[in-house]
Amino acid sequence: MIYPDNIEQKLDFHVLREALMGLCTSSLGRGEVEKMSFLTSFDLISRLLQETKEMLAVISDASLGFPDGEMHDLSEPLARIRIDGLFLDEQELFSLAKTAAYAHALHLFFASLDSLRFPVLAKMAVESDSDIGLIPPMVDHVLDKYGQMRDSASPELARIRRELTQAQGSVAKAVQAVLRRAQAEGWLDKDAAPTMREGRMVLPVSPAFRRKIGGIVHDESATGKTVFVEPQEVVEANNRIRSLESEERRERTRILIDVSARLRPLVPSVLLANRFLAHIDFLRAKALLAKQLHAVAPFVEDAPLIDWHDARHAVLYLTFLKQGKAVVPLSLRLEGDKHILVISGPNAGGKSVCIKTVALLQYMLQCGLLVPMAEHSRCGVFSAIMMDIGDEQSLLDDLSTYSSHLRNMKFFLRNAAPDTLFLIDEFGSGTEPLIGGAIAEAVLRKLCQQKAFGLVTTHYTNLKHLAESTPGIINGAMLYDRGALRPLFQLSVGQAGSSFAIEIARQTGLGEDIIAEAAELVGTEHLDYDRSLQDIARDKRYWANKRQNIRLREKHLEEKIAFYEAEIAALKDKRKAIVLEAKAEAADILDRSNAVIERTIREIKESKADKQKTLVARQKVEKLKEEVRPPEQPKVLRDLRDLRFLTKTAKAPQTNIANTIHRRKVSFERTLDMRGMRVDEAMEQLVAYIDDAVMVGAQQVTILHGTGTGALKQMTREYLERFTKKSGRISSFHDGDPDHGGAGVTIVEI
């Protein structure tokens, strides 16, 4: 169930429908887009998400060779030929052949897929009908590749067309003869040429010479200055042509009736193929849209829950993509005893976008679409989505905005259950604040008791207090940079948000006397509470950034440690190899030495210590000594000789790295000013600066390059793009705000 009926319009879901329509290649797929609706079956939703995920993998893998082809909706002509004697014309038959050929190609493609990698798509080959492959050869027998009937479709058709060609040739010759004679006599202009009227070959003649030509007048020009005469010499031949053309039409009709009769038993297969192609076209469009959105199939559970990471508003993402801007992601968890979130914060801070993001993505998911969020997100299934967003004032129903909100609250209370999701923007607004806030609090208590899931946005302090003290309800805040006085569009769950009314009023230039009087009227208690909320938000942001920086530093250290450990392990392996090689070489030397010594002793004994032979034997031993003298130590053995174990007081490499990072972090500036530099000089500065920014864990840095000739900006953008592709350490970069440098500044998100 969805509420209200125009929920798709409120969520801009129609934009996604139109995008899907444009990605379909046929009316078959577009018909499926029109039928797409909100589903509540866990099994069906899971299957649709899985098949879309598999199709996304298919179209992203060019090596698989997803087939191209044409598909046409043939349901109407196929219904017609169920009646004996009725037939498909040549164009319909041609479209049928192309559709059947594509359906058969898809059948073979899905049958070839790895069933372990693509279990759902592979199963489609079993569900599709292979009999559809019989149709293209049947049609190819009678139609050529242009969809025209072949002469060879039947012997009779071949005969008729042969005679027709001969008759047309004889008529053309006769008309040309009359034309040349008439031109020679001066009855026709030199540039006159035969033409066709009512399927017969005629000559354009001046009325004055009509009788000179002789024959039948078939037409005249609008001015009456030209008549079109069929020469008497070709009247009979033209009659023969008309007769043969009638014979040809009858024979073509007979052939089409015969082919249609042979196709009639395959109509059920064709209708099944039509449904199959419609689903594939729709599925491919969903996969292409998911590719544009960088959407995924998250974990889906058969229970109501929201545990999302880095979720992005789909329509906003597509819009920002064209503008080169990034959507701030949303992370949120509603589950168990925390099932209602009360979001507060400044106006234009992103509260409405937040609940619209939740509503849109949940609606997309339950329509079977992949959603733009982190893949490890967990999603549940709700039986209903109920929404109260925007001005519902109705002139026809004589309802004020607040009356309309109350009517919606009545519907929510009547239908809320543990498996429903409600979303309310500006809860309690539209009437006197005190009573409006009280009614909103009472409604929210009741919805909490009914265990419904929901998100509401508000400025009312009593609802913030309710969330702090009521099990099942939690506070959330849209973060705001108090120093720069600008919203960050980030949701922080766990504490209420300040409206920053005083600060925003001061920024707009409202007089300090007015602000002071307003502060006095509202009271110090309220202002202290609001300041406390601001302080909590500021501190939470500070410590969140701290934790992020620590995580980045630890990751960097882990990478360095792993690198050095790998280097040490490689050195150890090399040392072992060298030692083994040396031992083997020593053993070989020892064996050769023993053999030479034994042979020398034997020779001396045999010569009875003859001086000459003893000298020769000694020379052999000296030569052996030179051969086995150890060479200079290899370089690697000299790296090993210099290695020393670290003492307890020695500093480990990790500590040195940490100290280096700490020193760089302390001295690191968040802005690099390259204005006035040459391109090569600026490039050197930029490379070193980005490396340092990544090392110290900076989340955002600013590059000042100015506008000028644009060379520095172009160099900056090109380098950042290369760095992003190579390392993946930069999430995005964009121009600065118009009030803070605009196109002369590049903001880098790390």
Q: With beta carbons less than 8 A apart as the criterion, state whether 413 and 380 touch.
A: no
Q: With beta carbons less than 8 A apart as the criterion, state whether 170 and 194 touch.
A: no
d(CA 160, CA 152): 11
Q: Hey, what are 348's tokens?
A: 């234009």
Count of other CB atoms within 10 angstroms of residue 328 = 18
Give residue for tokens 């705000």. 737
Q: Which of 491, 495, 444, 500 is nearest to 472 (CA)?
A: 444
Q: With beta carbons less than 8 A apart as the criterion, state whether 205 and 229 touch.
A: yes
Q: What is the pLDDT of residue 13?
A: 94
Single-letter amino acid, residue 582: A
d(CA 282, CA 104): 18
- Residue ranges per domain, the chain? 299-500, 550-641, 668-749
d(CA 435, CA 346): 22
Give residue for tokens 């880098």. 748
Residues in the chain: 750
Q: Which of 444, 546, 461 is nearest to 496 (CA)?
A: 461
Contacts of 33-39 with CB under 8 Å at 24 or more apart are 33/282, 33/285, 36/282, 36/367, 36/368, 37/367, 38/1, 38/2, 38/363, 38/366, 38/367, 38/385, 39/366, 39/367, 39/368
Give residue for tokens 């208690």. 525
Paired with 748 in beta bridges are 701, 733
Q: Are strands 338-344 and 378-379 parallel, antiparallel or unpaired?
A: unpaired
d(CA 233, CA 215): 8
Cα atoms in the 13 Å half-sphere on the side-chain side of 225: 1
Paired with 334 in beta bridges are 306
668-749 is classed in which CATH architecture?
A: 2-Layer Sandwich (3.30)
Q: Which of 549, 573, 553, 550 is nearest to 561 (CA)?
A: 553
Q: What is the pLDDT of residue 636?
A: 43
d(CA 732, CA 443): 42
Side by side, the strands of the sheet bearing 745-749 are: 671-673, 700-704, 745-749, 732-735
Which residues of the chain carry a pLDDT beneath 70?
129, 391-400, 482-483, 485, 499-507, 515, 518-542, 544, 607-614, 617-618, 620-638, 640-662
- The alpha carbon of 61 is separated from its chain's Cα centroid by a whole number of angstroms, namely 14
Q: Hey, what are 332's tokens?
A: 């949120």
d(CA 131, CA 271): 12
Q: Which of 428, 429, 420 is nearest to 448 (CA)?
A: 420
d(CA 527, CA 223): 92
CA angle 563/567/570 to nearest 5° reads 140
d(CA 270, CA 732): 49
First-to-last C-alpha distance (Å) of the chain: 42
Q: What is the pLDDT of residue 192?
A: 79
- The alpha carbon of 630 is separated from its chain's Cα centroid by a whole number of angstroms, namely 66
Q: What contacts 258, CB < 8 A, 6 or more positions away?
A: none
Binning the chain into helix, strand and coil, the percentages to the nearest 5 are: 60, 15, 25
Single-letter amino acid, residue 89: D
The model's pTM: 0.65
299-500 is classed in which CATH architecture?
A: 3-Layer(aba) Sandwich (3.40)
Q: Which of 401, 368, 363, 408 is nearest to 387 (CA)?
A: 408
Query: For residue 226, with 0-12 CB atoms within 10 Å meaning exposed, 13-18 middle and 19 or more buried, which class applies?
Result: middle
The angle that helices 267-293 and 27-35 make with each other, rounded to 10 degrees, is: 70
Domains 299-500 and 668-749 share a fold: no
User: What dihedral angle (degrees, nearest 10) is formed by the CA atoms of 201, 204, 206, 209?
Assistant: -40
87: left (phi over 0), alpha (psi -120 to 50) or beta: beta
Q: Which of 582, 576, 593, 573 is nearest to 631 (CA)?
A: 582
Count of other CB atoms within 10 angstroms of residue 138 = 17
485 — phi, psi (to 5°)? 55, 55
Query: For residue 423, with 0-12 CB atoms within 10 Å meaning exposed, 13-18 middle and 19 or more buried, which class applies?
Result: buried
